[in-house]
A and B are shown apart, each in its own frame.
Chain A
């Protein structure tokens, strides 16, 4: 028995010695800042920075190749930590979140044809420019929901994508997944939005959507600095979003919504509390 203990133990010791020497001899030099940066990043691997995952971004920042400000989902806290590690001045950009500029679900907006194909907005858009009469409205097949790395988008039963202002981290993955450019980036603290994306004239919009912008200009006349009508579609002028709330009740088609009063019909998200506290990625 002793012979086997000694021989096995001896082999173990020799192997440990060899491994230890090899680790010393072939050690790969890593920038300690890279590891620290990886710790500081959220680890969501969302790709918002343009690099394939947090590790690649950490490496790029450590080597000086990438700017320190590209991790939008991390928000101000992550930015401060990255700046601290890299020893640079951190200037936080205004935090932005995505919003679906449409309320026309299957009950409120009419369909051009019955679509039974692939449950993917990009595939549906290729067939006669999408099954909705409205050329700009949300198709409700969930390509953005699948693209969101943070579970911040839900699809209502009537087929409308709704983005939680508290869960969204501003990574823009949904913006590039949407074939109809109905998702826009807006300042985090703005809660009033014109939820329409149709540039058709009012009379045309009325034919296919109950809640579309008809470019009646009432919002602009109520609060001239907060609304701009361009190409038959009203927009909130976000630097003046605080005043925009006044026009919500005046809008005849109810396409202007203050999210504090609740998300579009059918959403299960609780209305955001102001000031909006953006949830950090887990």
Chain B
């Protein structure tokens, strides 16, 4: 049978064999946790504790500012030792609440679970928001916003994203194998919030064990598990919707325009914890891998754990890393150092030593058209990048630069190593700045 997929895309070496077979291990609690106040898309949270204050596990340390924002929580009990700028995955120093762990790991009082079937959809949304649940696939968009579609956009399908198409990463894979009941419970809660009948779980066919486990537990709940062709970026929201439902999100549109809401499997599990147990999002599963890591692992880590601690709990490094990537190698962000803490979006940490990654100088475009062929958004990367270089951003906008999903396929496939995505991002930034001004 031909598996469902989307047009475009490519097949980077997946390198999942390092960690796909390894069960999730608890990462030991570090002495000090750095809770960044900006861990999600939208307005950063505002610190609401004082230096010297004792906080319990799960206590709110930063309150949400505005609708597109979520609170942040203490991921263990201890004392607030500083509220100051700390290294952030963006490369800047941004405000953070630093907590010295007391080792007791005691929950704060007052966190109560509830039966989601007796709560109203609004009450469930409030619980999801209060728990700080954001998209755990890496984009960290606040989940409650996605669950609040406007009245004129009826939603009929919930898509659960278990694709995990980024090379190296196996965090979602292990979660589906080891804790499928949490995911399914989350699906049932999300179904109630959105009032949909149809739930589709998309999983790439390179995880047959996960497909089998998920199918066994999902079918009694009326959830359909769909194996998908192995291709990057199968897990991109719009490409996943096209593959599963045959609906194409219009240019400039959102999934809700075609009646779909997409949530990651880990997000669904976090929703279950938030609603049924009343527990905020304090930990996530992250893959620590790459050729420079001594023992690659899948770890359950507390938000705020320094990356150095992650590396030391994986047996340290084989060679001094020269490239550090948070997230996957295709869309992840290179880091200045390991001083950065784990955030809610940290799906993986990849380390590469000298000579273990490509350093190709840029050459001239030879008009081969490979970037156009692989582009899953059907735009012309080389044309837009050319305009962006000349600061002709209006022309870049005419060629639909804003439809770029920044998956990195064009840059990956370019034989001249042209930084196409960076150029298109530059254009997108300029176009958005201009739109705000007008």
Residues of chain A from 113 to 128 with CB closer than 8 A to chain B in the complex? 113, 116-120, 122-123, 126-128
Interface flag for A129 (CB, 8 Å): yes
Of chain B, the residue at the smallest CB distance from A147 is B391
Give the Cβ gap from A127 to chain B, nearest Cβ, in Å.
7
Interface flag for B52 (CB, 8 Å): no
Of chain A, the residue at the smallest CB distance from B417 is A116
Residues of the B chain whose Cβ atoms lie less than 8 Å from the Cβ of A118: 389, 419, 422-423, 426
| Contact with B422, one of A112, A113, A123 (Cβ below 8 angstroms) | A123
Give the Cβ gap from A132 to chain B, nearest Cβ, in Å.
12
Q: What sequence of 0s and 1s flags, for each residue 331-354 of chain B, a beta carbon within 8 Å of any chain A beta carbon?
A: 000101000000000000000000
Interface flag for B92 (CB, 8 Å): yes
Given contacts A120-B389, A128-B92, contact A113 B423 (CB under 8 A): no
B336 touches A123 (CB 8 A): no
A126 touches B426 (CB 8 A): yes
B90 touches A128 (CB 8 A): yes
Interface size range on B against A: 10 to 19
Give A112 to B336 CA distance when docked, in angstroms.
7
Of chain B, the residue at the smallest CB distance from A143 is B391
Count A/B pairs, Cβ under 8 Å.
31
Residues of the B chain whose Cβ atoms lie less than 8 Å from the Cβ of A122: 426
B422 touches A117 (CB 8 A): yes
Residues of the B chain whose Cβ atoms lie less than 8 Å from the Cβ of A129: 91-92
Of chain A, the residue at the smallest CB distance from B426 is A123
Q: What sequence of 0s and 1s flags, for each residue 81-121 of chain A, a beta carbon within 8 Å of any chain B beta carbon?
A: 00000000000000000000000000000001100111110
Give A116 to B362 CA distance when docked, in angstroms.
8
B91 touches A127 (CB 8 A): yes
Q: What sequence of 0s and 1s flags, for each residue 189-200 of chain A, a beta carbon within 8 Å of any chain B beta carbon?
A: 000000000000
Of chain A, the residue at the smallest CB distance from B89 is A128
B423 touches A123 (CB 8 A): yes
Give A141 to B320 CA distance when docked, in angstroms.
29
B359 touches A116 (CB 8 A): yes
A128 touches B91 (CB 8 A): yes
Give A113 to B322 CA distance when docked, in angstroms.
10
Give A122 to B334 CA distance when docked, in angstroms.
18
Residues of chain B from 59 to 110 with CB closer than 8 A to chain A in the complex? 90-92
Give A127 to B419 CA distance when docked, in angstroms.
13
Interface flag for B369 (CB, 8 Å): no
Interface flag for B355 (CB, 8 Å): no
Residues of chain A from 199 to 213 with CB closer than 8 A to chain B in the complex? none
| Contact with A116, one of B90, B92, B336, B361 (Cβ below 8 angstroms) | B361
Given contacts A112-B336, A122-B426, contact A117 B91 (CB under 8 A): no
Name which of A112, A119, A128 has the most chain B CB atoms within 10 A of its CB: A128
Interface flag for B113 (CB, 8 Å): no
A113 touches B334 (CB 8 A): yes
Residues of the B chain whose Cβ atoms lie less than 8 Å from the Cβ of A120: 389, 426
Give the Cβ gap from B324 to chain A, nearest Cβ, in Å.
10
B429 touches A126 (CB 8 A): yes
Extra A-B contacts (20), CB below 8 Å, given A116-B359, A116-B361: A113-B334, A113-B336, A116-B362, A117-B419, A117-B422, A118-B389, A118-B419, A118-B422, A118-B423, A118-B426, A119-B362, A120-B389, A120-B426, A122-B426, A123-B423, A123-B426, A126-B429, A127-B91, A128-B336, A129-B92
Could you write out 5 A-B pairs with CB less than 8 Å apart?
Answer: A112-B336, A113-B336, A117-B422, A123-B422, A126-B426
Closest 9 CB pairs of A and B: A128-B91, A117-B419, A123-B426, A117-B422, A118-B422, A118-B419, A118-B423, A113-B336, A123-B422
